[in-house]
Structure 1
Amino acid sequence: MKINFYNEQKECLTTRTLETGDVILLVSGGHDFEMLEETEMIEVKQGPYAGVEDKERFEPAG
């Protein structure tokens, strides 16, 4: 899986490729994922999920 990391101004800071067994901690800013192959992942979120209002959407890096 490829992940792009963004700052608070929605500027792409860096891109990384995650492999089986990798773990990431997202603290601030934004992110997007591109699945490079069949993928299973677990996401743990603090607090309740408020549906689509819970996320801010913007155009991912090319």
Structure 2
Amino acid sequence: MPRWRQVADELERRIREGEYAPGTRVPSVLQLQEEFGVASATAQKALGGVRKRGLTYTEPGLGSFVRAQT
């Protein structure tokens, strides 16, 4: 499994289990790089994957936030 997918799956798990509540900011690219030991492009792709799954939204200049689950 690609590394970006592993990071995205972990972020999804944290969101679904309530570790990241709706409206809270998810880790930044830099934070993901440090935590998972991945490159910037990998962290960006992971965040994009979580966004495509409908779990987060991005506010330009502010970061990515957890979307309220329905």
The TM-score, its normalising length taken from structure 2, stands at 0.28
Higher strand proportion, which one? 1
The TM-score, its normalising length taken from structure 1, stands at 0.30
